[in-house]
Protein backbone atom coordinates (compact mmCIF):
# COMPACT_ATOMS: atom_id res chain seq x y z
CA UNK A 1 0.00 0.00 0.00
CA UNK A 2 1.56 3.27 -1.11
CA UNK A 3 1.77 6.05 1.45
CA UNK A 4 1.27 9.77 0.72
CA UNK A 5 2.86 12.16 3.20
CA UNK A 6 3.00 15.94 3.34
CA UNK A 7 5.38 16.56 6.23
CA UNK A 8 9.16 16.33 6.42
CA UNK A 9 8.99 14.47 9.74
CA UNK A 10 6.74 11.80 8.20
CA UNK A 11 8.96 11.02 5.22
CA UNK A 12 12.04 11.16 7.46
CA UNK A 13 10.52 8.64 9.85
CA UNK A 14 9.50 6.31 7.02
CA UNK A 15 12.85 6.49 5.23
CA UNK A 16 14.88 6.09 8.45
CA UNK A 17 12.66 3.17 9.45
CA UNK A 18 13.32 1.45 6.14
CA UNK A 19 17.07 2.04 6.46
CA UNK A 20 17.05 0.65 10.01
CA UNK A 21 15.43 -2.52 8.67
CA UNK A 22 18.41 -2.83 6.32
CA UNK A 23 16.46 -1.76 3.23
CA UNK A 24 18.18 0.23 0.51
CA UNK A 25 16.42 3.54 -0.10
CA UNK A 26 15.93 5.04 -3.58
CA UNK A 27 14.63 8.52 -4.36
CA UNK A 28 13.12 9.96 -7.53
CA UNK A 29 12.76 13.73 -7.08
CA UNK A 30 10.12 15.20 -9.42
CA UNK A 31 8.01 18.30 -9.89
CA UNK A 32 5.01 16.08 -10.67
CA UNK A 33 2.78 16.03 -13.74
CA UNK A 34 4.51 12.74 -14.41
CA UNK A 35 5.20 11.39 -17.88
CA UNK A 36 6.93 8.34 -19.33
CA UNK A 37 10.30 9.93 -18.60
CA UNK A 38 9.53 9.96 -14.88
CA UNK A 39 8.06 6.45 -15.10
CA UNK A 40 11.33 5.18 -16.57
CA UNK A 41 13.17 6.66 -13.56
CA UNK A 42 10.74 5.02 -11.16
CA UNK A 43 11.03 1.64 -12.90
CA UNK A 44 14.80 1.67 -12.68
CA UNK A 45 14.68 2.87 -9.08
CA UNK A 46 12.08 0.21 -8.22
CA UNK A 47 14.35 -2.52 -9.58
CA UNK A 48 17.44 -1.26 -7.74
CA UNK A 49 16.09 -0.40 -4.27
CA UNK A 50 14.08 -2.04 -1.49
CA UNK A 51 12.26 1.14 -0.50
CA UNK A 52 11.30 3.68 -3.14
CA UNK A 53 10.39 7.28 -2.37
CA UNK A 54 9.15 9.79 -4.95
CA UNK A 55 8.96 13.48 -4.17
CA UNK A 56 6.45 15.68 -5.97
CA UNK A 57 7.24 19.32 -5.37
CA UNK A 58 7.16 22.28 -7.74
CA UNK A 59 10.19 23.96 -6.20
CA UNK A 60 9.70 27.74 -6.15
CA UNK A 61 13.38 28.58 -5.57
CA UNK A 62 14.39 27.27 -9.00
CA UNK A 63 11.96 29.53 -10.88
CA UNK A 64 12.90 33.08 -11.81
CA UNK A 65 10.43 35.91 -11.15
CA UNK A 66 9.20 36.00 -14.76
CA UNK A 67 9.02 32.22 -15.16
CA UNK A 68 6.12 29.75 -15.10
CA UNK A 69 5.95 28.80 -11.41
CA UNK A 70 2.24 29.59 -11.10
CA UNK A 71 1.18 28.02 -14.38
CA UNK A 72 3.40 24.94 -14.08
CA UNK A 73 1.04 22.00 -14.66
CA UNK A 74 -0.10 19.99 -11.64
CA UNK A 75 -2.24 16.84 -11.31
CA UNK A 76 -1.51 15.11 -8.03
CA UNK A 77 -4.31 12.56 -8.30
CA UNK A 78 -3.06 11.24 -11.61
CA UNK A 79 0.55 11.37 -10.35
CA UNK A 80 -0.35 9.23 -7.34
CA UNK A 81 -2.04 6.65 -9.58
CA UNK A 82 1.09 6.45 -11.74
CA UNK A 83 3.34 6.15 -8.68
CA UNK A 84 1.17 3.38 -7.27
CA UNK A 85 1.35 1.52 -10.60
CA UNK A 86 5.14 1.90 -10.59
CA UNK A 87 5.37 0.27 -7.16
CA UNK A 88 6.43 3.37 -5.26
CA UNK A 89 6.40 2.92 -1.45
CA UNK A 90 5.96 6.52 -0.41
CA UNK A 91 5.17 9.82 -2.09
CA UNK A 92 6.36 13.00 -0.42
CA UNK A 93 4.30 15.97 -1.64
CA UNK A 94 4.99 18.89 0.68
CA UNK A 95 3.54 22.37 0.63
CA UNK A 96 5.98 25.17 -0.18
CA UNK A 97 5.71 26.41 3.40
CA UNK A 98 6.85 23.00 4.67
CA UNK A 99 10.02 23.13 2.59
CA UNK A 100 10.61 26.88 2.93
CA UNK A 101 9.09 28.11 6.19
CA UNK A 102 9.05 31.82 6.94
CA UNK A 103 12.56 33.14 7.43
CA UNK A 104 14.14 30.40 5.34
CA UNK A 105 17.54 31.65 4.18
CA UNK A 106 20.05 28.86 3.42
CA UNK A 107 21.13 28.21 -0.16
CA UNK A 108 23.54 25.83 -1.84
CA UNK A 109 25.42 27.27 -4.80
CA UNK A 110 27.54 25.40 -7.30
CA UNK A 111 29.85 27.98 -8.82
CA UNK A 112 32.09 27.83 -11.87
CA UNK A 113 31.80 26.44 -15.37
CA UNK A 114 29.17 23.81 -14.66
CA UNK A 115 26.53 26.46 -13.93
CA UNK A 116 27.91 29.41 -15.94
CA UNK A 117 26.62 28.52 -19.39
CA UNK A 118 23.54 26.95 -20.95
CA UNK A 119 20.48 27.24 -18.70
CA UNK A 120 22.58 28.94 -15.99
CA UNK A 121 22.97 31.96 -18.22
CA UNK A 122 19.32 32.67 -18.98
CA UNK A 123 18.08 31.32 -15.62
CA UNK A 124 20.56 32.86 -13.16
CA UNK A 125 19.10 31.52 -9.88
CA UNK A 126 17.82 28.25 -11.34
CA UNK A 127 20.62 25.95 -10.27
CA UNK A 128 20.90 27.54 -6.84
CA UNK A 129 17.27 26.51 -6.35
CA UNK A 130 17.92 23.03 -7.72
CA UNK A 131 21.02 22.46 -5.57
CA UNK A 132 19.19 23.75 -2.50
CA UNK A 133 16.06 21.63 -2.86
CA UNK A 134 18.03 18.52 -3.80
CA UNK A 135 20.27 18.99 -0.76
CA UNK A 136 17.18 19.25 1.41
CA UNK A 137 15.60 16.17 -0.18
CA UNK A 138 18.83 14.20 0.22
CA UNK A 139 19.06 15.22 3.89
CA UNK A 140 15.42 14.34 4.47
CA UNK A 141 15.32 10.97 2.66
CA UNK A 142 19.00 9.98 2.91
CA UNK A 143 18.72 7.83 -0.22
CA UNK A 144 21.42 5.43 -1.30
CA UNK A 145 20.54 6.20 -4.91
CA UNK A 146 18.76 9.12 -6.57
CA UNK A 147 17.49 9.19 -10.14
CA UNK A 148 17.37 12.10 -12.57
CA UNK A 149 16.48 12.42 -16.25
CA UNK A 150 19.30 13.07 -18.69
CA UNK A 151 16.99 15.53 -20.45
CA UNK A 152 18.12 18.00 -17.80
CA UNK A 153 21.76 17.24 -18.62
CA UNK A 154 23.15 20.33 -16.94
CA UNK A 155 21.09 19.63 -13.82
CA UNK A 156 22.60 16.14 -13.66
CA UNK A 157 26.12 17.58 -13.98
CA UNK A 158 25.42 20.20 -11.30
CA UNK A 159 23.98 17.67 -8.86
CA UNK A 160 26.84 15.23 -9.41
CA UNK A 161 29.33 18.03 -8.78
CA UNK A 162 27.49 19.18 -5.66
CA UNK A 163 27.32 15.64 -4.25
CA UNK A 164 31.04 15.16 -4.87
CA UNK A 165 31.98 18.58 -3.45
CA UNK A 166 29.90 18.30 -0.30
CA UNK A 167 30.61 14.59 0.30
CA UNK A 168 26.96 13.54 0.26
CA UNK A 169 26.53 9.77 0.51
CA UNK A 170 24.30 9.18 -2.49
CA UNK A 171 24.76 7.71 -5.92
CA UNK A 172 23.34 10.02 -8.58
CA UNK A 173 21.99 8.03 -11.51
CA UNK A 174 21.06 9.66 -14.83
CA UNK A 175 18.51 7.90 -17.05
CA UNK A 176 18.17 8.31 -20.82
CA UNK A 177 15.77 10.82 -22.37
CA UNK A 178 12.39 9.31 -23.21
CA UNK A 179 10.93 10.56 -26.51
CA UNK A 180 7.59 10.42 -28.29
CA UNK A 181 7.52 8.25 -31.42
CA UNK A 182 8.18 11.37 -33.51
CA UNK A 183 11.22 12.34 -31.46
CA UNK A 184 9.88 15.04 -29.13
CA UNK A 185 11.55 14.73 -25.72
CA UNK A 186 8.96 14.20 -23.00
CA UNK A 187 8.46 17.21 -20.75
CA UNK A 188 5.70 18.34 -18.44
CA UNK A 189 5.90 21.66 -20.29
CA UNK A 190 4.87 20.02 -23.61
CA UNK A 191 1.33 20.45 -22.34
CA UNK A 192 1.68 24.20 -22.99
CA UNK A 193 2.14 23.65 -26.76
CA UNK A 194 -0.63 24.26 -29.33
CA UNK A 195 -0.87 21.62 -32.10
CA UNK A 196 1.11 23.77 -34.54
CA UNK A 197 3.70 24.64 -31.89
CA UNK A 198 4.05 20.95 -31.09
CA UNK A 199 4.84 20.40 -34.78
CA UNK A 200 7.44 23.20 -34.70
CA UNK A 201 8.94 21.74 -31.52
CA UNK A 202 9.97 18.61 -33.42
CA UNK A 203 12.88 20.60 -34.84
CA UNK A 204 14.59 20.42 -31.44
CA UNK A 205 15.09 16.67 -31.61
CA UNK A 206 15.41 16.39 -35.37
CA UNK A 207 18.13 19.04 -35.50
CA UNK A 208 20.01 17.20 -32.73
CA UNK A 209 19.73 13.91 -34.61
CA UNK A 210 20.94 15.72 -37.73
CA UNK A 211 23.86 17.20 -35.81
CA UNK A 212 24.95 13.75 -34.64
CA UNK A 213 24.78 12.57 -38.26
CA UNK A 214 26.93 15.51 -39.32
CA UNK A 215 29.50 14.69 -36.63
CA UNK A 216 29.63 11.00 -37.50
CA UNK A 217 30.21 11.96 -41.12
CA UNK A 218 33.35 13.78 -40.04
CA UNK A 219 32.44 17.32 -38.90
CA UNK A 220 34.64 18.28 -35.92
CA UNK A 221 33.94 22.01 -35.65
CA UNK A 222 31.50 22.99 -32.90
CA UNK A 223 30.79 26.26 -34.71
CA UNK A 224 29.77 24.37 -37.85
CA UNK A 225 27.45 22.07 -35.89
CA UNK A 226 25.94 25.05 -34.11
CA UNK A 227 25.45 26.75 -37.47
CA UNK A 228 23.69 23.67 -38.82
CA UNK A 229 21.24 23.55 -35.89
CA UNK A 230 20.64 27.29 -36.15
CA UNK A 231 19.83 26.93 -39.83
CA UNK A 232 17.27 24.24 -39.04
CA UNK A 233 15.32 26.79 -36.96
CA UNK A 234 15.68 29.60 -39.50
CA UNK A 235 12.31 29.06 -41.15
CA UNK A 236 10.32 28.46 -37.97
CA UNK A 237 8.54 31.63 -36.92
CA UNK A 238 7.38 30.42 -33.50
CA UNK A 239 10.96 29.54 -32.53
CA UNK A 240 13.46 31.76 -30.76
CA UNK A 241 16.75 30.18 -29.79
CA UNK A 242 17.98 30.66 -26.22
CA UNK A 243 21.20 28.69 -26.72
CA UNK A 244 22.87 26.02 -28.81
CA UNK A 245 25.91 24.71 -26.92
CA UNK A 246 28.45 21.99 -27.48
CA UNK A 247 30.11 21.15 -24.20
CA UNK A 248 31.95 18.54 -22.18
CA UNK A 249 29.16 16.33 -20.73
CA UNK A 250 30.64 16.35 -17.21
CA UNK A 251 32.03 19.85 -16.75
CA UNK A 252 29.72 21.72 -19.17
CA UNK A 253 32.80 23.58 -20.45
CA UNK A 254 32.34 24.71 -24.08
CA UNK A 255 34.20 22.71 -26.74
CA UNK A 256 35.41 24.26 -29.97
CA UNK A 257 36.62 20.97 -31.43
CA UNK A 258 34.46 17.87 -31.07
CA UNK A 259 36.41 14.85 -29.85
CA UNK A 260 35.65 11.93 -27.57
CA UNK A 261 32.22 12.74 -26.05
CA UNK A 262 30.39 15.98 -26.63
CA UNK A 263 27.03 17.08 -25.28
CA UNK A 264 24.97 19.06 -27.73
CA UNK A 265 22.40 20.95 -25.68
CA UNK A 266 19.79 23.40 -26.91
CA UNK A 267 17.09 25.59 -25.41
CA UNK A 268 14.49 27.06 -27.71
CA UNK A 269 11.35 29.00 -27.03
CA UNK A 270 8.45 27.75 -29.12
CA UNK A 271 5.84 30.45 -28.74
CA UNK A 272 5.89 31.14 -25.01
CA UNK A 273 7.15 27.71 -24.05
CA UNK A 274 10.84 27.21 -23.33
CA UNK A 275 11.92 23.70 -24.26
CA UNK A 276 15.27 22.00 -23.82
CA UNK A 277 16.75 18.92 -25.42
CA UNK A 278 20.20 17.37 -25.77
CA UNK A 279 22.13 14.47 -27.15
CA UNK A 280 25.61 13.06 -26.61
CA UNK A 281 27.76 12.62 -29.70
CA UNK A 282 30.54 10.06 -29.34
CA UNK A 283 33.42 10.38 -31.76
CA UNK B 1 43.17 3.05 20.96
CA UNK B 2 42.56 6.36 19.24
CA UNK B 3 42.75 6.41 15.46
CA UNK B 4 44.15 9.27 13.37
CA UNK B 5 42.91 9.45 9.78
CA UNK B 6 43.64 11.89 6.97
CA UNK B 7 41.19 10.77 4.28
CA UNK B 8 37.46 11.35 3.95
CA UNK B 9 36.86 7.72 2.99
CA UNK B 10 38.57 6.54 6.18
CA UNK B 11 36.55 8.66 8.59
CA UNK B 12 33.37 7.86 6.64
CA UNK B 13 34.03 4.14 6.92
CA UNK B 14 34.77 4.38 10.65
CA UNK B 15 31.73 6.54 11.43
CA UNK B 16 29.36 4.44 9.28
CA UNK B 17 30.75 1.30 10.88
CA UNK B 18 30.05 2.67 14.36
CA UNK B 19 26.51 3.70 13.34
CA UNK B 20 25.85 0.25 11.87
CA UNK B 21 26.82 -1.27 15.22
CA UNK B 22 24.11 0.88 16.78
CA UNK B 23 26.54 3.33 18.34
CA UNK B 24 25.61 7.00 18.63
CA UNK B 25 28.13 9.23 16.88
CA UNK B 26 29.28 12.57 18.27
CA UNK B 27 31.41 15.14 16.46
CA UNK B 28 33.53 18.00 17.78
CA UNK B 29 34.70 20.09 14.80
CA UNK B 30 37.81 22.13 15.63
CA UNK B 31 40.62 24.04 13.97
CA UNK B 32 43.09 22.43 16.37
CA UNK B 33 45.53 24.10 18.79
CA UNK B 34 43.18 22.78 21.41
CA UNK B 35 42.55 24.53 24.72
CA UNK B 36 40.30 23.93 27.73
CA UNK B 37 37.33 25.22 25.73
CA UNK B 38 37.73 22.41 23.21
CA UNK B 39 38.36 19.93 26.03
CA UNK B 40 35.05 20.88 27.62
CA UNK B 41 33.30 20.13 24.30
CA UNK B 42 35.05 16.78 24.06
CA UNK B 43 34.17 15.87 27.65
CA UNK B 44 30.50 16.58 27.10
CA UNK B 45 30.55 14.78 23.74
CA UNK B 46 32.37 11.81 25.31
CA UNK B 47 29.68 11.49 27.97
CA UNK B 48 26.78 11.71 25.51
CA UNK B 49 27.95 9.49 22.62
CA UNK B 50 29.24 5.97 22.06
CA UNK B 51 31.64 6.96 19.30
CA UNK B 52 33.42 10.30 19.39
CA UNK B 53 35.06 11.92 16.37
CA UNK B 54 37.08 15.14 16.50
CA UNK B 55 38.04 16.98 13.34
CA UNK B 56 41.14 19.14 13.27
CA UNK B 57 41.15 21.31 10.19
CA UNK B 58 42.14 24.95 9.73
CA UNK B 59 39.45 25.65 7.15
CA UNK B 60 40.78 28.01 4.47
CA UNK B 61 37.35 28.99 3.11
CA UNK B 62 36.40 30.80 6.32
CA UNK B 63 39.47 33.07 6.27
CA UNK B 64 39.47 36.30 4.28
CA UNK B 65 42.42 37.14 2.04
CA UNK B 66 43.99 39.49 4.61
CA UNK B 67 43.34 37.23 7.60
CA UNK B 68 45.58 34.91 9.59
CA UNK B 69 45.17 31.60 7.73
CA UNK B 70 48.91 31.06 7.33
CA UNK B 71 49.89 32.12 10.82
CA UNK B 72 47.00 30.37 12.59
CA UNK B 73 48.68 28.30 15.33
CA UNK B 74 49.03 24.56 14.78
CA UNK B 75 50.34 21.75 17.00
CA UNK B 76 48.93 18.41 15.88
CA UNK B 77 51.09 16.30 18.18
CA UNK B 78 49.88 18.08 21.29
CA UNK B 79 46.30 18.07 19.97
CA UNK B 80 46.41 14.31 19.50
CA UNK B 81 47.64 13.81 23.05
CA UNK B 82 44.79 15.93 24.39
CA UNK B 83 42.25 14.06 22.26
CA UNK B 84 43.56 10.72 23.48
CA UNK B 85 43.29 11.91 27.09
CA UNK B 86 39.70 13.02 26.45
CA UNK B 87 38.76 9.54 25.21
CA UNK B 88 38.27 10.48 21.56
CA UNK B 89 37.82 7.46 19.25
CA UNK B 90 38.97 9.00 16.00
CA UNK B 91 40.65 12.22 14.89
CA UNK B 92 40.08 13.40 11.34
CA UNK B 93 42.88 15.75 10.28
CA UNK B 94 42.65 16.19 6.51
CA UNK B 95 44.86 18.20 4.20
CA UNK B 96 43.21 21.19 2.53
CA UNK B 97 43.40 19.40 -0.82
CA UNK B 98 41.41 16.50 0.63
CA UNK B 99 38.55 18.79 1.67
CA UNK B 100 38.80 21.17 -1.31
CA UNK B 101 40.24 19.31 -4.28
CA UNK B 102 41.07 21.23 -7.45
CA UNK B 103 37.93 22.55 -9.08
CA UNK B 104 35.95 22.59 -5.83
CA UNK B 105 33.06 25.04 -6.26
CA UNK B 106 30.07 24.30 -3.99
CA UNK B 107 29.22 26.66 -1.14
CA UNK B 108 26.51 26.84 1.48
CA UNK B 109 25.32 30.33 2.32
CA UNK B 110 23.07 31.36 5.19
CA UNK B 111 21.58 34.68 4.17
CA UNK B 112 19.67 37.27 6.17
CA UNK B 113 19.98 38.78 9.61
CA UNK B 114 21.85 35.94 11.27
CA UNK B 115 24.96 36.57 9.12
CA UNK B 116 24.48 40.26 8.28
CA UNK B 117 25.86 41.84 11.46
CA UNK B 118 28.64 41.20 13.96
CA UNK B 119 31.46 39.10 12.47
CA UNK B 120 29.54 38.75 9.18
CA UNK B 121 30.09 42.46 8.55
CA UNK B 122 33.86 42.61 8.92
CA UNK B 123 34.42 39.06 7.66
CA UNK B 124 32.11 38.88 4.61
CA UNK B 125 32.90 35.32 3.44
CA UNK B 126 33.54 33.91 6.91
CA UNK B 127 30.18 32.25 7.53
CA UNK B 128 29.95 30.92 3.98
CA UNK B 129 33.18 29.07 4.73
CA UNK B 130 31.89 27.89 8.11
CA UNK B 131 28.54 26.68 6.71
CA UNK B 132 30.32 24.92 3.84
CA UNK B 133 32.89 23.07 5.92
CA UNK B 134 30.37 22.13 8.60
CA UNK B 135 27.99 20.79 5.92
CA UNK B 136 30.85 18.70 4.54
CA UNK B 137 31.83 17.43 8.00
CA UNK B 138 28.20 16.59 8.81
CA UNK B 139 27.85 14.70 5.51
CA UNK B 140 31.13 12.87 6.10
CA UNK B 141 30.63 11.90 9.76
CA UNK B 142 26.79 11.93 9.94
CA UNK B 143 26.91 12.66 13.67
CA UNK B 144 23.84 12.47 15.87
CA UNK B 145 25.22 15.35 17.91
CA UNK B 146 27.78 18.06 17.15
CA UNK B 147 29.38 20.34 19.71
CA UNK B 148 30.40 23.99 19.32
CA UNK B 149 31.68 26.62 21.72
CA UNK B 150 29.35 29.44 22.68
CA UNK B 151 32.32 31.79 22.38
CA UNK B 152 31.54 31.81 18.67
CA UNK B 153 27.92 32.71 19.43
CA UNK B 154 27.11 33.88 15.91
CA UNK B 155 28.64 30.73 14.46
CA UNK B 156 26.37 28.64 16.68
CA UNK B 157 23.32 30.62 15.53
CA UNK B 158 24.33 30.30 11.86
CA UNK B 159 24.91 26.54 12.12
CA UNK B 160 21.63 25.98 13.97
CA UNK B 161 19.80 27.94 11.29
CA UNK B 162 21.54 26.06 8.48
CA UNK B 163 20.76 22.68 10.05
CA UNK B 164 17.10 23.66 10.46
CA UNK B 165 16.82 25.12 6.93
CA UNK B 166 18.48 22.21 5.15
CA UNK B 167 16.88 19.49 7.32
CA UNK B 168 20.16 18.00 8.46
CA UNK B 169 19.71 15.22 11.03
CA UNK B 170 22.03 16.44 13.73
CA UNK B 171 21.60 18.03 17.11
CA UNK B 172 23.75 21.14 17.46
CA UNK B 173 24.89 21.60 21.05
CA UNK B 174 26.48 24.82 22.27
CA UNK B 175 28.76 24.68 25.31
CA UNK B 176 29.58 27.55 27.68
CA UNK B 177 32.60 29.77 27.20
CA UNK B 178 35.62 28.60 29.20
CA UNK B 179 37.64 31.44 30.75
CA UNK B 180 41.01 31.86 32.40
CA UNK B 181 40.91 32.64 36.13
CA UNK B 182 41.18 36.36 35.29
CA UNK B 183 38.24 36.24 32.88
CA UNK B 184 39.93 36.04 29.46
CA UNK B 185 37.93 33.78 27.17
CA UNK B 186 40.05 30.91 25.90
CA UNK B 187 40.99 31.18 22.24
CA UNK B 188 43.70 29.65 20.10
CA UNK B 189 44.43 33.21 19.00
CA UNK B 190 45.40 34.25 22.57
CA UNK B 191 48.80 32.82 21.72
CA UNK B 192 49.39 35.87 19.48
CA UNK B 193 49.19 38.28 22.45
CA UNK B 194 52.25 39.88 24.06
CA UNK B 195 52.15 40.06 27.89
CA UNK B 196 50.95 43.68 27.86
CA UNK B 197 48.39 42.94 25.14
CA UNK B 198 47.12 40.02 27.19
CA UNK B 199 46.60 42.46 30.07
CA UNK B 200 44.72 44.86 27.77
CA UNK B 201 42.62 41.96 26.44
CA UNK B 202 41.08 41.48 29.90
CA UNK B 203 38.87 44.49 29.18
CA UNK B 204 36.84 42.34 26.77
CA UNK B 205 35.51 40.08 29.51
CA UNK B 206 35.51 42.64 32.29
CA UNK B 207 33.48 45.12 30.22
CA UNK B 208 30.99 42.35 29.42
CA UNK B 209 30.67 41.45 33.11
CA UNK B 210 30.23 45.15 33.86
CA UNK B 211 27.55 45.43 31.18
CA UNK B 212 25.59 42.56 32.73
CA UNK B 213 25.86 44.33 36.09
CA UNK B 214 24.55 47.52 34.52
CA UNK B 215 21.60 45.66 33.01
CA UNK B 216 20.73 43.84 36.22
CA UNK B 217 20.75 47.20 38.01
CA UNK B 218 18.01 48.36 35.62
CA UNK B 219 19.60 49.68 32.42
CA UNK B 220 17.39 48.71 29.44
CA UNK B 221 18.89 50.81 26.66
CA UNK B 222 21.20 48.93 24.29
CA UNK B 223 22.81 52.23 23.29
CA UNK B 224 23.68 53.00 26.91
CA UNK B 225 25.19 49.55 27.42
CA UNK B 226 27.18 49.89 24.20
CA UNK B 227 28.36 53.31 25.38
CA UNK B 228 29.49 51.83 28.68
CA UNK B 229 31.55 49.10 26.97
CA UNK B 230 33.02 51.63 24.53
CA UNK B 231 34.08 53.85 27.44
CA UNK B 232 35.87 50.89 29.06
CA UNK B 233 38.13 50.66 25.98
CA UNK B 234 38.68 54.43 25.71
CA UNK B 235 41.99 54.46 27.58
CA UNK B 236 43.44 51.34 25.99
CA UNK B 237 45.79 52.29 23.19
CA UNK B 238 46.31 48.78 21.78
CA UNK B 239 42.54 48.32 21.37
CA UNK B 240 40.46 49.10 18.32
CA UNK B 241 36.81 48.12 18.45
CA UNK B 242 35.38 46.17 15.51
CA UNK B 243 31.86 45.94 16.93
CA UNK B 244 29.84 46.05 20.13
CA UNK B 245 26.42 44.54 19.45
CA UNK B 246 23.40 43.71 21.53
CA UNK B 247 21.27 41.20 19.69
CA UNK B 248 18.70 38.44 19.97
CA UNK B 249 20.74 35.30 20.83
CA UNK B 250 18.96 33.13 18.21
CA UNK B 251 18.38 35.47 15.26
CA UNK B 252 21.29 37.90 15.85
CA UNK B 253 18.86 40.74 15.10
CA UNK B 254 19.92 43.98 16.87
CA UNK B 255 17.92 44.97 19.94
CA UNK B 256 17.42 48.57 20.95
CA UNK B 257 15.64 47.71 24.19
CA UNK B 258 16.98 44.91 26.37
CA UNK B 259 14.29 42.50 27.49
CA UNK B 260 14.13 38.77 28.07
CA UNK B 261 17.47 37.43 26.78
CA UNK B 262 20.06 39.57 25.04
CA UNK B 263 23.42 38.55 23.65
CA UNK B 264 26.13 41.15 24.15
CA UNK B 265 28.84 40.35 21.62
CA UNK B 266 32.04 42.24 21.00
CA UNK B 267 35.01 42.01 18.66
CA UNK B 268 38.10 44.04 19.46
CA UNK B 269 41.52 44.13 17.91
CA UNK B 270 44.25 44.14 20.54
CA UNK B 271 47.34 45.06 18.59
CA UNK B 272 47.10 42.87 15.50
CA UNK B 273 45.01 40.18 17.17
CA UNK B 274 41.26 40.19 16.66
CA UNK B 275 39.48 38.78 19.71
CA UNK B 276 35.80 38.10 20.29
CA UNK B 277 33.82 37.53 23.44
CA UNK B 278 30.17 37.53 24.45
CA UNK B 279 27.77 37.04 27.30
CA UNK B 280 24.02 36.53 27.57
CA UNK B 281 22.13 38.94 29.82
CA UNK B 282 18.82 37.63 31.14
CA UNK B 283 16.35 40.24 32.32
Q: What is the per-residue pLDDT across B4-52, written as a single tens digit (0 to 9) for each? A: 999 999 999 999 999 999 999 999 999 999 999 999 999 999 999 999 9
Query: In which residue ranges of chain B is CATH 3.30.1300.10 found?
Result: 188-282
According to the annotation, is B31 in a ligand binding site? yes
Three-state SS for A17? helix
Q: Is residue B38 annotated as a catalytic residue, yes or no? A: yes
**ipTM at complex level:** 0.95
- Say if B55 is an interface residue toward chain A (CB within 8 Å): no
Q: Is B257 left (phi over 0), alpha (psi -120 to 50) or beta?
A: beta
Going residue by residue through chain B, which has 283 residues, state the pLDDT in tens, using 9 for 90 and above: 999 999 999 999 999 999 999 999 999 999 999 999 999 999 999 999 999 999 999 999 999 999 999 999 999 999 999 999 999 999 999 999 999 999 999 999 999 999 999 999 999 999 999 999 999 999 999 999 999 999 999 999 999 999 999 999 999 999 999 999 999 999 999 999 999 999 999 999 999 999 999 999 999 999 999 999 999 999 999 999 999 999 999 999 999 999 999 999 999 999 999 999 999 999 8
DSSP-assigned beta bridge partners for residue B280: B263
pLDDT digits (tens, 9 = 90+) for A237-280: 999 999 999 999 999 999 999 999 999 999 999 999 999 999 99
Count of C-beta atoms within a 10 Å radius of residue B213: 12
Helix, strand, coil proportions of chain A in percent (round to 5)? 40, 25, 35
The whole-angstrom separation of Cα B111 and Cα B128 is 9
DSSP-derived pairing of the beta strands A51-56 and A25-30: parallel
The whole-angstrom separation of Cα B1 and Cα B125 is 38
DSSP-derived pairing of the beta strands B51-56 and B25-30: parallel
- Residue A63: which of A122, A137, A106, A20 has the closest Cα? A122
- Residue A238: which of A271, A267, A206, A207 has the closest Cα? A271
DSSP-assigned beta bridge partners for residue A25: A51
Three-state SS for B176? coil
Interface test with A, best of B106, B157, B162 (most A CBs within 10 A): B106
Instruction: Give the chain B residue whose CA is nearest to the CA of A133.
Output: B166
- Say if B15 is an interface residue toward chain A (CB within 8 Å): no
φ, ψ at A65 (rounded to 5°)? -60, -30
Q: Residue B54 has what pLDDT?
A: 98
Residue length of chain A: 283
Report whether B64 contacts B109 (CB < 8 A).
no
- Residue A132: which of A99, A175, A172 has the closest Cα? A99
Distance from CA of B168 to the nearest CA of A (A): 5
- Say if A23 is an interface residue toward chain B (CB within 8 Å): no
CATH architecture of the domain covering B3-175: 3-Layer(aba) Sandwich (3.40)
Instruction: Give the chain B residue whose CA is nearest to the CA of A160.
Output: B106
List the Cα angle B188/B191/B194 in 5-degree steps: 150
Helices vs strands, H then E, count in chain A: 10, 10
Instruction: Tell me how far CA of residue B196 lies from CA of A131, B183, B236, in angstroms.
Output: 50, 16, 11
Q: Between chain A and chain B, how many beta carbons pairs sit less than 8 Å apart?
A: 72
| A51-64 core/surface letters (b: 16 or more CB in 10 A; e: else) | bbbbbbbbbebbbe
CATH architecture of the domain covering B188-282: 2-Layer Sandwich (3.30)
The whole-angstrom separation of Cα B268 and Cα B244 is 9
Query: In which residue ranges of chain A is CATH 3.40.50.620 found?
Result: 3-175
The whole-angstrom separation of Cα B204 and Cα B217 is 20
Q: Is A183 left (phi over 0), alpha (psi -120 to 50) or beta?
A: left
Amino acid sequence: MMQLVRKIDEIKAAARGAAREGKSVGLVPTMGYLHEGHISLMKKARAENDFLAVSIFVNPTQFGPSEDLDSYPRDLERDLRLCEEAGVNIVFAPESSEMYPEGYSTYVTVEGGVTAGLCGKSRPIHFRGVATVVTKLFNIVRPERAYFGQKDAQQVAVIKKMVRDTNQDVQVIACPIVREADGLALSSRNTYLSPSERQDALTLSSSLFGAVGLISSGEKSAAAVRGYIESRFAGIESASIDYIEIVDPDTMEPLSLISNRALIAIAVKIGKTRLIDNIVAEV
